[in-house]
Structure 1
Amino acid sequence: MGKFRIDRVNEEIKKAISSCIQNDLRDSRITGLITVTRVDTATDLKTVKVYLSVFDKNRNEIFEILKKSVGKMKNSIARNVKIRFIPEIDLKMDNSIEYSFHIDEILKKTNKEDFNND
C-alpha cells in the first residue's frame, strides 16, 4: 500500500479521534488540553498507534480514562473514515510537549543566569 494512502488514512483517523475526544466523551474527569499528536497506521490497516498529549495535573488518570474509551473512538472511526476494517487502537502517551516546556524553562533559567552574571 502506498505511503500517500497511509498518510491520508492517518490524517482521517486523527481527525475522527480528535472529534470523538472533544465531542463524544462525556466524562467530567476528562479535563485539560488533550491533543492527538500523531497517528501511525500499520500498512495492513489492522492496527493504529495513537499518540496523545495530555496537559493536566491529573494526566495519568485522564489517560487511563481515555484508554477505557477506545470503543467509542473505534465507533467514531467507523462513522467518519471510509476504510474496510476498523483498526485496533493502541493509545500511547506522548510526552514531547511537556518535554519541550521543560527544555524551555531550562533555557529561560540559563539566559536569566547569564544576564545576571554580566
Structure 2
Amino acid sequence: METTRQSKVSRLLQKDLGLIFQQEGRNLFGGKMISVTTVRISPDLGLAKVYLSIFPSDKSEETLEVVRMNTKNIRRILGTKVGKQLRVVPELAFYIDDSLDYIENIDNLLS
C-alpha cells in the first residue's frame, strides 16, 4: 500500500527523470530513446526503483549498464531539479521494464 506522499514523490521523480533522459539522452546514451515507465519509492523515501523502457530493445542491457554507470551524474542533475521540493534526493536503482516486449510477444503468438 503506497501512501499519498510516496505516490506524489514517485510522480515527481518520474516526470523529472523523463526530462533528464530526454535532454541528456543524446550525450550520455548515444541517441537511444529511454522513457521512464514507473518509479516505485520506499516508505522512507530513501530508495527509488526506476523502471526504464529502452528503444531499440535489442541493446537494452548495454544501455542499462551505461545508465547504471552514470547514476551519480543523473542523481546530481535530479537534485538540482527537485532540491527545493525534497529534503533528500533518493538513491536510484534502475531496472528494465520489459512489459512492452511481453505484450508484443503475446500478440505474435496470438496471430
Matches of 1:74 and 1:28, distance apart in 2: 16
How many pairs does the alignment contain? 106
Identity value in percent = 26
| Conservation of the 8 A alpha-carbon contact between 2:47 and 2:93 | yes
Greater radius of gyration (CA): 1
Moved beyond 4 Å, runs of 4+ = none
| Conservation of the 8 A alpha-carbon contact between 2:10 and 2:41 | yes
> Could you tell me how far 1:34 is from its partner in structure 2?
1.6
Structure 2 residues without counterparts, runs of 5 or longer: none
CA shift in 2, pair 1:83/1:29, >3 Å? same
Q: Deviations over 1:48-98 (max 9, x none)?
A: 100111121211111111111212221232122211111111111111111
| Conservation of the 8 A alpha-carbon contact between 1:13 and 1:39 | yes
> Could you tell me how far 1:104 is from its partner in structure 2?
1.1
| Conservation of the 8 A alpha-carbon contact between 2:14 and 2:38 | yes
CA RMSD of aligned residues (A): 1.6
| Structure 1 position 66 matched with structure 2 position 67 | yes
Residue aligning to 1:27: 28
Amino acid at match of 1:43: P
Q: TM-score, normalised by structure 1?
A: 0.81
Residue aligning to 1:101: 104
Residue aligning to 2:80: 79
Structure 1 residues without counterparts, runs of 5 or longer: 109-118
Q: TM-score, normalised by structure 2?
A: 0.85
